[in-house]
Chain A
């Protein structure tokens, strides 16, 4: 076979080019670690964005710390997307992230309605995720997907504790308001279940749409029912409007919210006076009280984030840490990481011991009760309400 002289000359030239490109690459690879992407999805804009930004920062902190550690095997690249707390947007960004094969795992969703809509996507793409803030039970219990894990508790625990606590404070008559998303409806269902089991009485149940502005009609009816407590199952923006309009109508009942209103923007939106005495229940231990909490807060402050970690930040941090540790252990492979996460038992994390059951649900729940005192969400046991100095509305 004869080779054309021009081509013959080309071969060594090509070889040289290949070498020229490859050689520095090899040299770089030795100095630089392989880059691996990990993701975060949460509401970064909109009414609950304070929580979303806290989660984003906390998860990013876990990635930063890992990258600062010289012993880590990979260089982690952090991708954060905004689901706006809207299921349709959530589905889009989840697909975008899952379709990017370089993203090995992600910490996803604060809003239950969004998480419920996206679990199928993660399963289809085989991407392991740990839910960091959405508490609707079906997210883990409504499917058998090994890819879906959840580090925070479910609203079942939260409402059981809330119902028992309210009864122990001597309240008997409740009016229930809830938003008509899966999140609000499930809160209502579980609260009513545990309330009636514990001898409470539900005077009326009112569903409201999640964009509603005016609640005077519902609240007027509630006022006529004369309840001791108005329970609201929903998120901060509606919570602010309802509490504010209760005042406008002169309703003097105790306001009880769920974990969805436990954010600083709730107090900011209402002002100190109206927020005073509002209750919320969260399936988390406050970060200051966690064994490693002080170290976390210190590191968080040292990394100069513009917003605070908020209630669920530590969950996002712990979840991201678990994903990173699994990647370190089994390498950047979605299937292997899923298996490694499923096998997690008695992992000591920032948020305490984590044990995933066969649905990927962390079954070590801790519920903390909060009351607003002087414009700050205060742990019930530390508040002047518990010590008897102040009292809730009767």
Chain B
């Protein structure tokens, strides 16, 4: 039982990270029908921005309280990555709107590679794994083999809060209505007075901000980051968005947790073949896509008519 609970906790933490990344993929697809492959590397950039901010604070304000440090680390990551998201939309994705979808896909993939290499080359000693500071209190409680950690709880709840906020923003506000309207029919929305360009930029800022949190969470959870981490996170986040149904936020969240569940179950159920857990998880994704090509929760089918 304790073992099962521990697996659940591990899976939930992983799932939250994947879901936060998947939300970005799905938002971008919803509004612009594009797949932004640099999204995984955006997460990585957020981790490194956070670490950079931490080092600056350590240098200029050595005695700053831990709470403030976390706040500034997070704020820096969100700000930098949100602006980067908007720039990506403005200068890479919008100019390619008329072009085949493949072009956007390739352009963003190359942009992701450029980001990755830039961090590797320009962050001091960037090609080596970097220890990420332990900023949250390390209180933990032990029940048999079950280990509950306070920092995990904080990370999980904050992640959940962010997803709820994004959801409320999309469903309950005027801005969200404009985003949804643009997603359903960009031209009609424009006729109704929606500033489409602005909505696209806002959506990209929003999706990237969620990714920024995933990046900082990744650092705080593992206490180690490297320039390569966006590659796998991007692939997993994208798969999660696809199994959930691209364009649907609930789908992305479900997809994230499903993928984490698959990976964890892969190890729990097949301890003799733990090295194959990714093969197992991605294999199941292929099967799910074959069975439900539209994803678990399909985008409104009327859209395309």
* Inter-subunit contact A248/B149 (CB<8 Å): yes
Q: A209-B275, A209-B278 are in contact. Are A223 and B6 (CB under 8 A)?
A: yes
> Interface-forming stretch among B84-92, B124-132, B207-215?
B124-132
- Please measure, in the bound complex, the distance between the C-alpha atom of A248 and the C-alpha atom of B127, giving whole angstroms: 25
B226 in the interface (beta carbon within 8 A): yes
B223 in the interface (beta carbon within 8 A): yes
Cβ contacts under 8 Å, B3 to chain A:
220-221, 223-224
Q: 1/0 per position for A194-223, CB-CB distance to B under 8 A? A: 000000000011111101011011101101
**A-B pair number, CB within 8 angstroms:** 92
Cβ contacts under 8 Å, A248 to chain B:
147, 149
Cβ contacts under 8 Å, A250 to chain B:
140, 142, 147
Cβ contacts under 8 Å, B11 to chain A:
217
* Inter-subunit contact B224/A241 (CB<8 Å): yes
Rounded to whole Å, the gap between the CB of A216 and the closest CB of chain B is: 4
Among the listed B14, B131, B149, which residue makes an inter-chain contact with A214, where contact means beta carbons less than 8 Å apart? B14
Rounded to whole Å, the gap between the CB of A140 and the closest CB of chain B is: 27
Interface residues of B in 64-107 (CB under 8 A from A): none
Cβ contacts under 8 Å, A270 to chain B:
131
Q: A209-B275, A237-B226, A244-B222 are in contact. Are A217 and B267 (CB under 8 A)?
A: yes
* Inter-subunit contact A271/B131 (CB<8 Å): yes
- Please measure, in the bound complex, the distance between the C-alpha atom of A50 and the C-alpha atom of B129, giving whole angstroms: 11
Q: A220-B6, A245-B222 are in contact. Are A207 and B129 (CB under 8 A)?
A: no
Interface residues of A, CB < 8 Å — how many?
36
* Inter-subunit contact B223/A237 (CB<8 Å): no
Minimum CB distance partner of A207 in chain B = B275
Per DSSP, chain B at the interface is helix
Q: A46-B128, A224-B3, A250-B142 are in contact. Are A217 and B222 (CB under 8 A)?
A: no
Rounded to whole Å, the gap between the CB of A177 and the closest CB of chain B is: 9
* Inter-subunit contact A265/B128 (CB<8 Å): yes
A240 in the interface (beta carbon within 8 A): yes
B271 in the interface (beta carbon within 8 A): yes
Among the listed A49, A50, A213, A249, which residue makes an inter-chain contact with B222, where contact means beta carbons less than 8 Å apart? A213
A45 in the interface (beta carbon within 8 A): yes
Rounded to whole Å, the gap between the CB of B242 and the closest CB of chain A is: 21
Rounded to whole Å, the gap between the CB of A4 and the closest CB of chain B is: 61
* Inter-subunit contact B145/A223 (CB<8 Å): yes
Q: A208-B274, A214-B222, A244-B223 are in contact. Are A220 and B128 (CB under 8 A)?
A: no
Cβ contacts under 8 Å, B266 to chain A:
217
B248 in the interface (beta carbon within 8 A): no
Cβ contacts under 8 Å, B274 to chain A:
206-208, 217-218, 221
Interface residues of A in 57-110 (CB under 8 A from B): none
Most central of A216, A223, A268 by chain B CB within 10 Å: A216
* Inter-subunit contact A216/B10 (CB<8 Å): yes
- Please measure, in the bound complex, the distance between the C-alpha atom of A129 and the C-alpha atom of B266, giving whole angstroms: 43
A47 in the interface (beta carbon within 8 A): yes
Q: 1/0 per position for B1-16, CB-CB distance to A under 8 A? A: 0010011001101100
Among the listed A47, A224, A226, A249, which residue makes an inter-chain contact with B129, where contact means beta carbons less than 8 Å apart? A47
- Please measure, in the bound complex, the distance between the C-alpha atom of A204 and the C-alpha atom of B11, giving whole angstroms: 21
* Inter-subunit contact B232/A217 (CB<8 Å): no
Q: 1/0 per position for B137-177, CB-CB distance to A under 8 A? A: 00010100101010000000000000000000000000000
Cβ contacts under 8 Å, B275 to chain A:
180, 206-209
- Please measure, in the bound complex, the distance between the C-alpha atom of A158 and the C-alpha atom of B277, giving whole angstroms: 30
Rounded to whole Å, the gap between the CB of B136 and the closest CB of chain A is: 11
Cβ contacts under 8 Å, A45 to chain B:
120, 127-128
Minimum CB distance partner of A271 in chain B = B131
Rounded to whole Å, the gap between the CB of A181 and the closest CB of chain B is: 11
Cβ contacts under 8 Å, A226 to chain B:
145
* Inter-subunit contact A269/B267 (CB<8 Å): no
Cβ contacts under 8 Å, B32 to chain A:
none
Q: A204-B271, A218-B267 are in contact. Are A46 and B224 (CB under 8 A)?
A: no
Q: 1/0 per position for A348-392, CB-CB distance to B under 8 A? A: 000000000000000000000000000000000000000000000
- Please measure, in the bound complex, the distance between the C-alpha atom of A244 and the C-alpha atom of B134, giving whole angstroms: 11
Interface residues of A in 12-66 (CB under 8 A from B): 45-47, 49-50
* Inter-subunit contact B224/A217 (CB<8 Å): no
Minimum CB distance partner of B17 in chain A = A214
Rounded to whole Å, the gap between the CB of A249 and the closest CB of chain B is: 5
Cβ contacts under 8 Å, B13 to chain A:
216
* Inter-subunit contact A221/B224 (CB<8 Å): no
Minimum CB distance partner of B149 in chain A = A248
Minimum CB distance partner of A238 in chain B = B129
Cβ contacts under 8 Å, A50 to chain B:
128
Question: Mind listing 26 A-B residue pairs with CB under 8 Å?
Answer: A46-B127, A47-B226, A49-B127, A206-B267, A206-B275, A207-B273, A207-B274, A211-B228, A214-B263, A217-B10, A217-B263, A220-B7, A220-B10, A220-B268, A221-B3, A221-B267, A224-B3, A237-B224, A237-B226, A240-B131, A244-B222, A244-B223, A249-B147, A268-B131, A269-B129, A269-B131
Write the residues of chain B forming the contact surface with A, with a CB cutoff of 8 angstroms. 3, 6-7, 10-11, 13-14, 120, 127-129, 131, 140, 142, 145, 147, 149, 222-224, 226, 228-229, 232, 263-264, 266-268, 271-275, 277-278
Known: A217-B10, A249-B147, A269-B224. 18 other contacts (CB 8 A): A49-B127, A206-B275, A208-B275, A209-B278, A214-B222, A216-B13, A217-B277, A220-B6, A221-B267, A237-B224, A237-B226, A250-B142, A250-B147, A265-B128, A265-B129, A268-B131, A269-B131, A271-B131
